[in-house]
Amino acid sequence: MVRHNVYFWLDPSLTEEQKASFEEGLRALFEIGSVKAGSFGKAAATPERPVTHNTFDYALVLEFDSVALHDAYQIDPEHEVFVKTYSPWFREVRVFDTLF
């Protein structure tokens, strides 16, 4: 299994309506055929520690049964729509993929 973790830092000037649209875009990614499971959330207000990084706005977690299915997701037209639609709102994006 591959777990695809994506952390987004968004433009701070986004409106609540734009943030709601972004969340809908994240939910739409769960419907892509190669995605086994998905969820997203915001940074938790946990205590700061030297190892804690909670400055991100959203975290997306997707699971795939294989690297090949992850790779298929990357070129899926719906993923490309998400990137094209929302990437102007990204200040920074970090991806961490893990094989289990």
Alpha-carbon span 73 to 75, nearest angstrom: 5
Q: Enumerate domains of the chain plus CATH numbers.
A: 2-45+58-99 (3.30.70.100)
pLDDT (0 to 100) of residue 86: 98
pLDDT (0 to 100) of residue 93: 98
Alpha helices in the chain (DSSP H): 16-29, 67-74, 77-86
Are 5 and 98 a contacting pair, CB within 8 Å? yes
Question: Which residue stretches of the chain have pLDDT < 70?
Answer: none
pLDDT (0 to 100) of residue 54: 92
